Amino acid sequence: MSGLINLISEFSSSLFILPILVLMNVIITIIIYFINNRKILKYLPSIIIGLVSILVGIYSIAIFTSPMGLNTAWIAIFLMTTAIVGIATGFIIDLFISIRSNLGLNNEIVKESIGKQKQFKARRRRDKDNLND
């Protein structure tokens, strides 16, 4: 257990980079969503980061036995994690948009059905009044 704690404390400075990268990518994805109306553009930063991650990963496999090989593999893992979280953020934005649009349609349907119910009740009252006269 102490070996694991020592290992985490040794690499803790490099572990602080990941949340910062993820947060930056999420913020960029949200900003691009609000700036543009095109659906695919919000995925563009994450796709670019993912492609860079794949290239860095391939390069790190080629030089894995050298002293820089493991560091470049860490960079590739960090970048790929950031890209996956950014793509997931884009999907969540799309989910919110579709839920909001479905709720809007459902509200209109409910309003229409309430209006039809009121018309039906008014017609039934008129018919009752006509029968009573």
Q: Judge whether 124 lies within some domain.
A: no
CA torsion sign, 60 to 65 to 13 to 88? positive
Q: Judge whether 26 lies within some domain.
A: yes
Each residue's pLDDT tens digit, 28-75 = 999 999 998 888 889 999 999 999 999 999 999 999 888 788 888 888
Fill in the DSSP letter of residue 66: S
User: Which of 84, 63, 80 shows the shortest CA–CA distance to 72?
Assistant: 63
Confidence of residue 76 (pLDDT cuts 50, 70, 90): very high
Percent of the chain past pLDDT 70, that is, above it, reads 74
CA 78 to chain centre: 18
- How confident is the model at residue 115, as a pLDDT? 66
- How confident is the model at residue 29, as a pLDDT? 92
Higher pLDDT, 120 or 92: 92
Alpha helices in 11-68 (DSSP H): 12-15, 17-35, 44-62
What is the number of other CB atoms lying within 10 angstroms of the CB of residue 97?
12
Count of structural domains, the chain: 1
- pLDDT over 90 at 124, yes or no: no
Q: Which residue range forms the structural domain that includes residue 77?
A: 17-101
Q: Most confidently modeled of 7-11, 54-58, 71-75, 103-107?
A: 54-58
Q: Judge whether 7 lies within some domain.
A: no
- Cα separation, 50 vs 43, in Å, equals 11
Confidence of residue 81 (pLDDT cuts 50, 70, 90): very high
Q: Judge whether 58 lies within some domain.
A: yes
Q: Judge whether 59 lies within some domain.
A: yes
Higher pLDDT, 109 or 10: 10
Higher pLDDT, 5 or 74: 74
Confidence of residue 104 (pLDDT cuts 50, 70, 90): low
User: Which of 14, 84, 29 shows the shortest CA–CA distance to 53?
Assistant: 84
- Cα separation, 129 vs 109, in Å, equals 30
- Residue 128 corresponds to which tokens in the numbers above? 């009752």
Q: Judge whether 21 lies within some domain.
A: yes
Q: Judge whether 108 lies within some domain.
A: no
Q: Judge whether 115 lies within some domain.
A: no
What contacts 116, CB < 8 A, 6 or more positions away? none
Locus of tokens 């796709």: 47
